[in-house]
Structure 1
Amino acid sequence: MPLTTHGPTQLSPARIRLALFALALGGFAIGATEFVAMGLLPNLAQDLLPGLYRAQPDAANARAGWLISAYALGVVVGAPTIAAAAARRPRKQLLLALLIAFTLGTVASALLPSFELVLAARFLAGLPHGAYFGIASLVAAELMGTGKRARGVAIVLSGLTIANVIGVPAITWLGQSAGWRLAYLVVAGIFALTFLAVALVVPHQAGNPGSTIRRELRAFGRLQVWIALLIGAIGFGGLFAVYTYVAPLVMEVTGLAAWAVPIVLVVIGLGMTIGNFAGGALADRSVRRTMYGAFGVMLVALTALAFSAQSVAGLLVGVFLIGAAAAALSPTIQTRLMDVAHDSQSIAAALNHSALNVGNALGAYLGGIAIAAGLGYVAPVWIGLGLSGIGILLAGATFAIDRSRRRLGVAVPYGTAAITVVRAD
């Protein structure tokens, strides 16, 4: 049965699938631009920091990790700013503007000559990230219809996770073979292709005419919003503490050659793809149980990887489970944010990606400190374990507050009139 989107226009199932594919293609391009640096970290360090790399390769790799942190910080700054300021704009128009910004920022990353300029370009390239996923998730949720909110989010995020199966390994191989600058130009081409796809097949959706910056910013006055953000910002750091330094982990700890790095990235991507869809389906049933389960798997996998990274089997199983658990958390945390943000839906949808990229920056930064201190490439795994442990404690706190409020007879919101209710327990 066709669905209606912000008006009387009827959409066929085929049109809906094409629109969802276009939105997911944007996620694919974002996954490529965000994660390709992980596999090319030694190449970036060698080319942009040649003197430091010759003298201290570990220190150069750690500093090259700043490129990942810069992108993540761009996401943190851009997501709430753009989402709050542009919530009234037509959603398709906003998506197209964001895709232009992505294309230009990625081209600049590929062409600028120095480490400092590339660092600035990565920050700028990250600015549209959260707003794109936030607005695309709202579009997908409406296209999917009643009761399928988390699955709509998961479809948009599936592009990002599939990028880790196909795009990131392939582009990493290309970057190793032909230079990291060409790799980023390919990514920019994918963004340009996404622009065309969105322009052609995504239906018009009006923005929220009643939205104001003040109303959107009300989300920051709610304790449960802040706790949900901290769950993503700290707990998700467990993934990025490992992922940022996966290339040197594979080569220096497990002892494999550079050609094995894309294979390991495929394994992580497979885990993320499976975890994303599983998390989306399970979160539509229970946000609370899905969050606890994903964090539980993450803690077990990080512990196992810390003790078994020297073996190929231990490495592959560990990174697969870490990727699956982290990806399951993403639509779960996003759904939780939309539940507790009341009428600040645009900023809530985008803030999830700010939080997750704080985790990206935090994991990369703390892992780099440990490596630069001479603690080795397994040290970031232990840091990731600590970050994920804090994440599950925060999850326990947010749901304990819900239970306390219910006992006191205080209403616990699970959505708004515009969004289908999803139970948190």
Structure 2
Amino acid sequence: MTDLPSTLDAGQPRWKVPRTALEPRPWHVLAAFAVIGFGIGLTQNGAASVVQDQIADLGTTIDVLGFTMVAYSVGVVVGAPLIMVGLGRVRRRPLLVVMAALFLLTTVATVIAPTVEILLAVRFVAGLPHGALLGVASFVAMSVLGRERRGKAVSIIMLGLTTSLVVGVPLMQWLSNVASWRMAYVVVAIIAAIGLVGVWLFTPDLPGDPAASPRSELRALRGRPLWTAIVAITVGFAGLGAVFSYIVPLLEITNGFAPSQVTWILVAWGGAMTLGAWLGGQLTDRSHVGAGRLGLVGVACALLGIGLFGDIPVATVVLLVALGASVQVFSQSSQVHLMDVLQGSPSLGSALAHAALNAATAVGTGLGALVIAWGFGYRAPAWVALVLAAAALIIVIVGPGYRGPVQWRRPTA
């Protein structure tokens, strides 16, 4: 991998873009995006690790707080297509800088939210830049590494998300216990600020699509393969939202783990997702359809196990680890599949993938909140998610854009 050429347009003043971005180095660019992914992983997934302390501080209940997580996911679903469709012509660098700044501001607003109602509104706004930010970053990462390694490019960004589960989310849970959930989000704000600086310093100023318009981008959203892929992602990924959003009460209340033990279980969960992200990138570069099917089979098996044995402590931990790894394999493959379906708009495809993933989180978290509120316990969301995962597996076997035998390619060096 070699250094990228300077991206400065003829006649453009050099002071507008730092030299580190004018003559970008690929690994610097990817590292900046990984930090952004790490911060987004904290702000989204960390919500589940501080929920017990938010209940006491905000004077609310777990099902109401579940809908603050739904609000974030709905923000992603709304923001990703709106931003990408409306701003297709905008150069990639300023778009990334603005969205990274919005990520920082909304994180600060989360820290100071005085009531659960205001927190609900703030979390919706915080979700708006998420999908577009990661979608544009994925496009730039693919430009750095080349199309033949697009699975690896996506996995590097997702590595930031999953690394947050290894280190950041357990740290947030610990900080929430010893200090407050607000202090946990102060850490997220610091990471967001570092990510913003990295994006400013290293992101090359790649052009947008001069032919893009809301009408042309909307035309790209036609076709059964596209919507089949979106439905498969939304339905298949719901298991993560349904289970992970309530992982702390599942571990502490249903299985009797102490908060200090939960911290280390979250580390193991994050390690499994990191391993799944790496494995998913490798398998996706060989066959994204095959990787998707393998990932969903693993998801379905893990959810079935949690439904049956989710009150046995050791079994619960093992099954959660399996779920984390499997869902990441499916995640990597589904993002690349959407980018392939939308060949003329890869940024939009990646953004839609994140929108679909968060629609899944909203569906899973919302359904989980309902079955818990109805008194079915903290294992019940796994049964709901299992039905959805089984439906997604059927889609990726017989649905438009997925049919046919899987051909595994040799990995690219």
The answer for the alignment partner of 1:370 in structure 2 is 371
Distance in 2 separating the partners of 1:158 and 1:87: 26
Contact 2:6 2:24 in 1 (8 A): no
Distance between the aligned counterparts of 1:156 and 1:290, measured in 2?
18
Residue of structure 1 aligned with 2:55, choices 45, 51, 55? 45
- CA deviation after TM superposition for structure 1 residue 397, in Å: 2.8
SS in 2 for 1:236: helix
Q: Which residue number corresponds to residue 97 of structure 1?
A: 98
> How many angstroms apart in 2 are the aligned matches of 1:291 and 1:217?
26
Counterparts of 1:140-155 in structure 2, within 5 Å, are: 140-155=141-156
Structure 2 counterpart of 1:357:
358
**2:283 partner letter:** L
Distance 2:79 2:402 in 1: 30
The answer for unaligned runs of 5 or more in structure 2 is 10-19
C-alpha distance after superposition, 1:271-324 (max 9, x if no partner): 110111111111111111101100011111111222222233212111111111
The equivalent residue for 2:303 is: 302
| CA–CA distance in structure 2, aligned partners of residues 5 and 83 of structure 1 | 26
- Map Cα deviations across residues 97-154 of structure 1 (whole Å, 9 max, x no partner): 0011011111111102111101000000000000011000001111112410111011
- Report the alpha carbon displacement of residue 184 of structure 1 after superposing the two structures with TM: 1.2
Which moved further from structure 2: 385-394 or 75-84? 385-394
2:39 is matched with which residue? 29
What is the match of residue 30 of structure 2?
20
1:345 match: 346
Q: How far apart are 1:47 and its partner, in Å?
A: 1.7
- When structure 1 is superposed on structure 2, of 203-212 and 385-394 the one drifting more is 203-212
Amino acid at match of 1:16: P
8 Å CA contact retained: 2:39, 2:192 = yes
CA distance in 1, matches of 2:147, 2:392: 30
Deviates more, 1:255-264 or 1:293-302: 255-264
Structure 1 stretch displaced more, 198-207 or 63-72:
198-207
- Work out whether 1:112 is the aligned partner of 2:104: no
Structure 1 residue 346: deviation in Å?
Answer: 2.3
Tell me how large the CA RMSD over aligned residues is: 2.3
- CA–CA distance in 2 between the matches of 1:49 and 1:26? 32
What is the letter of the counterpart of residue 36 of structure 2? G
CA contact (8 A) 1:137 1:349 kept: yes
1:81 corresponds in structure 2 to: 82
The residue number in structure 2 matching 1:129 is 130
Which secondary structure does the structure 2 equivalent of 1:277 belong to?
Answer: helix
Cα offsets for 1:57-100 (capped at 9, x unmatched): xxx11111011100000000000111111221111111110011
Contact in 1 for aligned 2:240/2:364 (Cα 8 Å) = yes
In 2: Cα distance, 1:378 partner to 1:252 partner: 11
Deviates more, 1:303-312 or 1:125-134: 303-312
Distance in 2, matches of 1:69 and 1:5, equals: 42
- Do the aligned partners of 1:110 and 1:181 also contact (CA within 8 Å) in 2? yes
Distance 1:283 1:399, change over 3 A: farther
Provide the residue aligned with 1:284 in structure 2. Answer: 285
In the alignment, what sits opposite 2:182?
181
TM-score for both structures, normalised by structure 2: 0.91
Question: For 2:25, what is the secondary structure of its paired residue?
Answer: helix
Shift of 1:7: 5.5
Give the conservation status (yes or no) of the 8 Å contact 2:100–2:195: yes
Maintained 8 Å contact 2:5/2:23:
no
Q: Aligned partners of 2:342 and 2:233: how far apart in 1?
A: 15
Q: 2-side partners of 1:422 and 1:225: how far apart?
A: 26
The answer for the alignment partner of 2:173 in structure 1 is: 172
The answer for the alignment partner of 2:196 in structure 1 is: 195
Conservation of the 8 A alpha-carbon contact between 2:165 and 2:271 = yes
Residue 220 of structure 1 and its aligned partner are, at CA, apart by 2.1
Runs of 4+ in 1 over 3 A off after TM superposition: 3-14, 399-404
**Hey, what does 1:398 align to over in structure 2?**
399
Q: Cα deviations across residues 374-404 of structure 1 (Å, max 9, x unaligned)?
A: 1011101111211111111121232576549
Paired residues of 1:88 and 1:209 also in contact (CA < 8 A): yes
Q: Mind listing any 5+ residue stretches in structure 1 that lack a counterpart?
A: 51-59, 405-420
Residue in 2 that maps onto 1:257: 258
Letter in 2 for 1:44: Q
Change (3 A) 1:32 1:422: farther
Aligned residues: percent identity? 36
- Give the match for residue 317 of structure 1: 318
The corresponding residue for 1:55 is none
Which deviates the most, 327-336 or 119-128? 327-336
Give the aligned partner of residue 2 of structure 2: 2
Aligned mates of 1:11, 1:185 — CA distance in 2 = 28
8 Å CA contact 1:74–1:126 kept in 2: the answer is yes
SS at match of 2:148: coil
One-letter amino acid of the counterpart of residue 340, structure 2: D
2: CA distance between counterparts of 1:286 and 1:300?
21
Alpha-carbon offset, residue 359 of structure 1:
0.7
Instruction: Please say if residues 51 and 65 of structure 2, whose CA atoms lie closer than 8 Å, have aligned partners that are also in contact.
Output: yes
Q: Which amino acid aligns with 2:132?
A: A
Amino acid in the other structure paired with 2:234? A
Change (3 A) 1:114 1:16: same
Cα 1:289–1:217 shift into 2, 3 Å: same
Q: Secondary structure at the match of 1:255?
A: coil
The residue number in structure 2 matching 1:163 is 164
Mean CA deviation greater in 10-19 or 266-275? 10-19
Alignment partners' CA distance in 2, 1:44 and 1:217: 40
Alignment of 1:218-257 (within 5 A): 218-257=219-258
Number of residue-to-residue matches in the alignment? 398
